[in-house]
Amino acid sequence: MFLCLQLQAQRAPVGFKTRIVNFGKVKETAGKIFYDFVYFNRGEGPLRIEKVAAACGCTAADYTPVAVPKDSSGHIKVSYNTTNRPGEINKTISIYFVGYPEPEILTLKGIVIGSHRLIERELVYRYGNLRFQSSTLNFGTVRTGLPEKREYEFYNAGTKDIQLKQLQYDTNFMKVSIKKTTLKPKEISKMIVKYDAVKRKDWGFVTDTIHLITTDDSMAVKSLPVIAHIEEYFPLKEIIAIENSPKIKFEKTEQHLGSVKEGGTVSNIFKLTNDGKVDLVIRKIVPGCKCLTFETPKYILKPGEASTIKVTMDTKYREGVQNKNITVISNSPSSPSVNLWIRVNVISN
């Protein structure tokens, strides 16, 4: 325990050639612009990036996916999308290294020379007279213990002012704010959403809704879906020896069940074992289709203990090749989510 607390208090032993890039003046029509941040491992052992979190959907990053050895370098290639973002660039990206919960911060700066004619080509998802950059507020994979924040741009495509009067959402795990609450025609605003997976108290794919109450004369109430895939966060998974971690192991993760006449059912038993040295906990099992059901297995497996998950598919009203899966979510650091697939050819009667 002392070792873990000591490691959590430290910052990652990493150095960057630079933590700030200034793109200068760039045209909005440039689209995506890039910068390659180079970092060095100054520690005594391998260093790997756990995740990269951007505060805005306008930025993205590709990074060295493997552990970087001592005295070696890695890369974080960051992109910024200038389209429909005239004005100052001042964005940050948080870099989380395995075993070090305190992120390293990279900053993007510059000025985008605007071209307003691109707005309606980029913010295309219409909710009444408001247009958003995406049809859903998609957080992707979020992990417990690491609250996430996203920014979603939208603008007034109508001919009248629109006032954003009220937000309705589940305040237990989300915090939502609007940067500008009264939009003149063609004005842009942002919705900032903070999401806490621990307080959401669920696992796997989840969906929620933010209701935006407006004075828009076309769809005054806008219901915006919020989606996320929740997994467990393992901050010390590369420091703790593998023998001290639970490890879920399936004999097979997919099964071809041949052909069956429409209207019948087919089943398969998936065998699993806790291949680790501490208890394996199955957090949740999520069918990917309403046609799938499963028999509840043991949800806690001792080291070396085996169990089974029986999955049954109802082929009623289905025809042709069917590929269906269920997702098993557990506390296994090496495989927090495992998809089990059933493949069957349904023949019509």
Q: Could you tell me which CATH class the domain 123-239 is placed in?
A: mainly beta
Assess contact for 247 and 334: CB atoms under 8 A.
yes
Task: Report yes or no: 49 and 39 within 8 Å, Cβ to Cβ.
Answer: no
Quote the CA–CA distance of 83 and 115 in Å, as a whole number: 8
CATH annotation of 1-114: 2.60.40.10
- Mean pLDDT in consecutive groups of 10 residues from the start of the chain, 349 residues: 43 90 90 92 90 84 87 91 85 90 90 71 86 89 86 91 96 95 92 94 93 95 94 63 79 92 93 92 92 90 95 92 93 87 90
Contact (Cβ atoms closer than 8 angstroms) between residue 320 and residue 346 = yes
State the DSSP H helix or E strand holding residue 2, giving kind and residue range, or none if neither: helix 2-9
- CA distances in angstroms from 216 to 120, 160, 169, 223, listed in the order given: 18, 8, 19, 13
Q: Most distant CA pair in the chain: distance in Å?
A: 67
Which pLDDT belongs to residue 1?
38
- Please indicate whether the domains covering 1-114 and 123-239 agree at the CATH topology level: yes
Q: How far is CA 6 from CA 11, 232, 324, in A?
A: 10, 22, 45
What is the architecture, at CATH level 2, of domain 242-347? Answer: Sandwich (2.60)
**In the chain, where the domains are located:** 1-114, 123-239, 242-347
Report the candidate in 9, 7, 8, 13 with the shortest Cα–Cα distance to residue 40.
13
Classify 145 in phi/psi space as left (phi over 0), alpha (psi -120 to 50) or beta.
left
